[in-house]
Structure 1
Amino acid sequence: MKIVLSMLLSLCLTFTTASCDNDEPELSDTTEIENQGENGGENSDDPKTPSEHKTLIAYYSYTNNVERIVTELRSQINADIVEFEPAQKGLDYAANNYALGTQLLNAIKADPNSASSYPAIDNVDVDLAKYDMVIIACPLWWSQMAAPFQAFLFNYSSQMAGKNIGVIVSSASSGINGVVADAKRLIPEGNFIEPNLWIRSSQTFNAASLISTWLNDIHYNDLTSAVASIAAYINYLLL
């Protein structure tokens, strides 16, 4: 039995691993988790095909671009969704040439391992243990991940170890390498699925097509159904 389980776990890992311009920050509304529901397509190529797999979409949006992207993403897959917001409301991160946003990013860069370096965010009721995959979506600030979302990843990174992580970034023009680097620094034991999805602010109107292509590129259906099937079989053997 140990040999069988070892082979299955090895197979599971194989499936899960196959797969500087200054930009304006990208307002947000809720902190509760919303459930997408169970209505999926019947075609196996349809990303909404139901499966045992559980996906969480976690996001932060400043100018609503990311929120629009996430709304479209959730229409294409079965997933729960949670939005993270700064604890202090009404701050204008873009005022005075993004002075506050830059100040927050510099504080993190000065001591990225200290919780005090990150801005406070609202508490949310989310059990990350329920999910096999977490898709994170956030804006780029000055070629880095927006500070409030860095706070979320710092606070919850230990709960995302070993999970498949998809990354979606919105920016005005800068490339997203710095944001991806922040994500990998903050979730050192995450299994990052590539390619990442970069949607420029000017492309938000075309989010549906870009997301659909991305889901196919990362083999979302294959990834989720493979993990679910193997997990179910392991549970069956353990009965």
Structure 2
Amino acid sequence: MKTLLVYYSRTDVTKKIAEIIQEKLNCDIEEITDNNRYKGAIGYLKGGMNAAMRRTSEINPISKNPSDYDLVIIGTPVWASNMATPIYTYLMKYNKEIKKMASFCTCIRGGYDSALENISEVTGKKPVTTMFLTSKDIENPQEKINTFITNIK
């Protein structure tokens, strides 16, 4: 199954998890970038507000077309109980090109249920599987990642 992992990471936590998954699945990977619009304390506040209000933002062009893949894995941090604004923007633009999807999110401790549900809602697809990692899980993510990968295969 040809798989693409698409993620956004403001602080590199989601990036770390995405890279572990990518290595284990040997799949293509695409980082969604936005010219650091959400860096720092102001970016953190702006990101939470934009996510809560379901605003889109400007993201940089992508290099991989999701329609070329059997499965697209979406990875996002949780912002105000939602997916990160750059991922929301990506999904609003490309959701019709995604055939099947799985999703994961990283968070401090909560909001993941809502964020994962929102991904499903925006894509219009029931995920093959989902995973969330809290700050506690991120210290040792291997077990959750292995279960996530098993559920994909």
**Same-fold call, TM cutoff 0.5:** yes
Between structures 1 and 2, the one with greater strand share = 2
Indicate the residue corresponding to 1:64 in structure 2.
Answer: 12
Aligned pairs, number? 153
**What is the CA–CA distance in structure 2 between the aligned matches of 1:159 and 1:93, rounded to whole Å?**
33
State the AA in 2 paired with 1:165.
M
Indicate the residue corresponding to 1:44 in structure 2.
Answer: none
1:77 shift after superposition:
0.9
Indicate the residue corresponding to 1:144 in structure 2.
Answer: 82
Identity of aligned residues (%): 23
Indicate the residue corresponding to 1:181 in structure 2.
Answer: 117
**What is the CA–CA distance in structure 2 between the aligned matches of 1:93 and 1:119, rounded to whole Å?**
17
Pair 1:101-2:47 in alignment: yes
Cα distance, 1:165–1:93 mapped onto 2, change above 3 Å: farther
**What is the CA–CA distance in structure 1 between the aligned matches of 2:102 and 2:38, rounded to whole Å?**
28
Tell me which of 32, 37, 49 is aligned to 1:84: 32
Indicate the residue corresponding to 1:193 in structure 2.
Answer: 128
1:1-239 correspondence runs (5 A): 53-86=1-34, 88-89=35-36, 91-92=38-39, 94-95=41-42, 98-108=44-54, 117-160=55-98, 163-188=99-124, 190-194=125-129, 196-216=130-150, 218=151, 220-221=152-153
Aligned to 2:140, what secondary structure does the other structure show?
helix
Q: Which runs of 5+ in 2 are unaligned?
A: none
State the AA in 1 paired with 2:51.
L
Q: Which runs of 5+ in 1 are unaligned?
A: 1-52, 109-116, 222-239
How high is the TM-score relative to the length of structure 2? 0.89
State the AA in 2 paired with 1:152.
Y
> Who wins on radius of gyration, i.e. which is larger?
1
CA contact (8 A) 2:52 2:82 kept: no
Q: Return the structure number with greater relative CO, CA threshold 8 A, min gap 6.
A: 1
1:90 shift after superposition:
5.1
> What does the per-residue CA deviation read over 1:20-66, in whole Å, with 9 as the maximum and x for residues that have no partner?
xxxxxxxxxxxxxxxxxxxxxxxxxxxxxxxxx10000000011111
How high is the TM-score relative to the length of structure 1? 0.59
CA contact (8 A) 1:92 1:100 kept: no
Indicate the residue corresponding to 1:237 in structure 2.
Answer: none
